[in-house]
Structure 1
């Protein structure tokens, strides 16, 4: 049985973006093949194994597609991909697109129960996973789940190492005769990839995207960051299996004919080495990663080639980090506001100096070729048509445009909660549009700490704490409290390891004008913030650490 993935956007609107050229109206593999024909020897992937050109990658892709087809994978089937960033992950993306199947990438490191949930809810028929990774045995673990996943027919194990008994070796599929495969030419408006949310709120959401939404809508986002129109050379610090990483194969390769520089695992030294060795035009990561790299450069300075831009998303980017990164890396720093649910806005390559004053965080000017953004009443009935608030008023950020996903996967309740009747995505974020059309993000509707019945937005407090001269990185979380229900905890990385106290932070927040009831009452000082497998700050782990040994005001 093929999973039903319906499009919640009006068909005439979706089709209008292909008619006017906003979307390419080609499937991802056909787009990739066009670049391969035009420049067969261009480098497609640089990873731990070395370089792979467009033609060599295409041969592997066609062999893998033939092998998967021989197993029985059909158009519309969902196939899980739990592979580290590297050539095998790229091959899987393109091979599944060529078949007309739907890829479900999720980062290595997701827990066994979470992997089982994703595969069950998506009705996946197969999953690709490494034999071994960082001391774990992902393929073997997934094989053990087959008893509770009746639709999962194949676990495909990627080397090195011998595939566990019962798994299909990826190496064998890659030796299939590439000449046996004929691309499926799927509908460009059909599903090609399922993006998985970070899981910071609850069970991760799964969101279905079409070829056009990825190559068109998300492709237009990257196009705006290519000042000379030449193919980009993108260093991905985040996993390709993350939502942010979906800009890799589908956008940088298939849409723009660029090169992917991939790290199997992020460290500050590995990232800096890659910048020196491969001179990427664009470095894509989360702010915490850039802070780690800046700290490393402060300890051991080195000369770096200047990229076209650092593109940072996934967490709040404070002005101090952005300014330091611009100075040290010698390039614009792009603050990307976006999510797997279908919203994208960014500050672009221009100097943001004149936009820093104002409420919340400036997120740039929405691009309707990517996603039109409006501000809606947060009190409007769910799944009703979108109802805008007056200009300059704070409300819920909603988005609709060429990158808008089809629907949530196997979750009609989420469709009803987060999609309006006319197809807009409700983000759960609070913001406003200024007189010049610029978007400012001021907080979240659903990410709140409830202290004694009063709501506190952690994002609002994080923005203010990040302006403290001794705060290097900060995440705010709620911790249980028997009296107040919850108290706000600030998890802080200080500059140069210098000590901080709650009194110092409170005095700073007083000076910034933040209400006393919103001040953190728990402080956790850390050398660095833990990251999830998707590369974002791990709020769940921080909540546990704060609850286990907290310092209360």
Structure 2
């Protein structure tokens, strides 16, 4: 079954027939016939691709992101510089190791710093609190839904607000100001650090010197050694406060997409900045605020509408557990806005309710949802991001069926 297998190495002093002990292979003459290079001859270069991790697929088919030893070391060194991660830390990592967050910020960070790594096979809020408390975990990297599960858990106060937990880096999708405030109140000894990153490289964070007002309203400033700027569709840099595509440059950037030279050519600007595909604004202090994805823009009658902007204003309704907007095809305007909402148990919500909240928030009427779909849950990627393309497909198919019925 393994016809291409040329050598099998075993850790330890005894190896089964047909295999070699690792130390014997490294130090003694090879017992394997054929042209097998020595370690010195085949030692990998720090810029060689060392692993491939696939994107979450929030906008479609996942892409293979290639990283080298140097890019990974730059990512880990950033955590050491910004957060002071050392061998005294205990990292709690609930994300699967097959995802970039689990591997880069879990396994690799632990190996790089000598920190202890505590894994969780699947996400369970109650169990997470138990593990963090028992193992005295000091830091974790999670998505907003996980932070909400922990910060609002009624058992949290029974654990004395988890005093060992000094850092929670939260990102991957929209982080609401209300969630950051609740987490800040219920975890008073913990730095709640909203940030932004992607499989291709990490970009921004809220550090220990970040004012609470910025923690509540931004996704932080660039990590040490990282450059960020906002560009137009043609790549020109935009002034502070103007929405555009976020571009990133730094030593932590990936080495390219696996078997996709076409994507590599289109991904970078001439000056080496990566076009991230994310929409953002930057303030004069260098803090960025993510506003959506370029591919997620709803184009209604020629007006570009960022779903995140509308979602932020509507998410404050106490009946709403989660909300996501998508464009739905319209013959006259091109697209109209559909709101997909998950409600808290026992509550009701109407399109008129959403319109009233949008009006009270001062949202332009062109950005109000024009259809409401109540779901039991939103379609999500393994990393906790909403699959907006799935929502768009869902409402498109539903509209087609309705037109047939009528």
> Same fold judged by TM-score > 0.5?
yes
CA distance in 1, matches of 2:380, 2:201: 23
CA contact (8 A) 2:328 2:395 kept: yes
Per-residue CA deviation, residues 209-246 of structure 1 (Å, 9 max, x unaligned), is 11111112x11332245347444311112222112223
Which of 405, 416, 425 is the equivalent residue of 2:274? 425
CA contact (8 A) 1:226 1:232 kept: no
Deviation at 1:419, TM superposition (A): 0.8
1:507 maps to what in 2?
356
1:279 maps to what in 2?
136
CA distance in 1, matches of 2:332, 2:132: 50
Which of 420, 443, 457 is the equivalent residue of 2:292? 443
Larger radius of gyration, structure 1 or 2? 2
Aligned-residue RMSD, C-alpha: 3.3
CA contact (8 A) 1:337 1:344 kept: yes
CA distance in 2, matches of 1:224, 1:495: 41
For 1:291-306, what aligned pairs fall within 5 Å after superposition?
291-295=148-152, 297-298=153-154, 302-303=158-159, 304-306=161-163
Distance 1:273 1:545, change over 3 A: farther
For 1:295-334, what aligned pairs fall within 5 Å after superposition?
295=152, 297-298=153-154, 302-303=158-159, 304-306=161-163, 307-330=165-188, 331-334=190-193
TM-score between both structures, scaled by the size of structure 1 = 0.60
1:239 maps to what in 2?
96
Task: Show structure 1 runs of 5+ residues with no match.
Answer: 1-67, 75-94, 96-171, 381-386
2:32 maps to what in 1?
none
TM-score between both structures, scaled by the size of structure 2 = 0.80
CA distance in 2, matches of 1:259, 1:537: 31
Matched, 1:471 2:320: yes
2:22 maps to what in 1?
178
Matched, 1:212 2:70: yes
Tell me whether 541-550 or 275-284 shows the greater mean CA deviation.
541-550
1:38 maps to what in 2?
none
CA distance in 2, matches of 1:228, 1:205: 30
Matched, 1:375 2:230: yes
Deviation at 1:317, TM superposition (A): 0.3
Aligned pair count? Answer: 374
Matched, 1:267 2:111: no
The alignment partner of 1:534 has SS state of coil
CA contact (8 A) 1:376 1:398 kept: yes
CA distance in 2, matches of 1:73, 1:432: 53
CA distance in 2, matches of 1:444, 1:541: 15
Tell me whether 222-231 or 253-262 shows the greater mean CA deviation.
222-231
Which of 201, 205, 213 is the equivalent residue of 1:342? 201
Per-residue CA deviation, residues 313-342 of structure 1 (Å, 9 max, x unaligned), is 110000011111222233121112111233
1:460 maps to what in 2?
309
Per-residue CA deviation, residues 261-320 of structure 1 (Å, 9 max, x unaligned), is 11222122332232232221112211012223445x238864252311111111000001
Distance 1:292 1:228, change over 3 A: closer
Distance 1:548 1:394, change over 3 A: closer
2:381 maps to what in 1?
532
CA distance in 2, matches of 1:73, 1:413: 36
Distance 1:203 1:519, change over 3 A: same
CA distance in 2, matches of 1:311, 1:476: 25
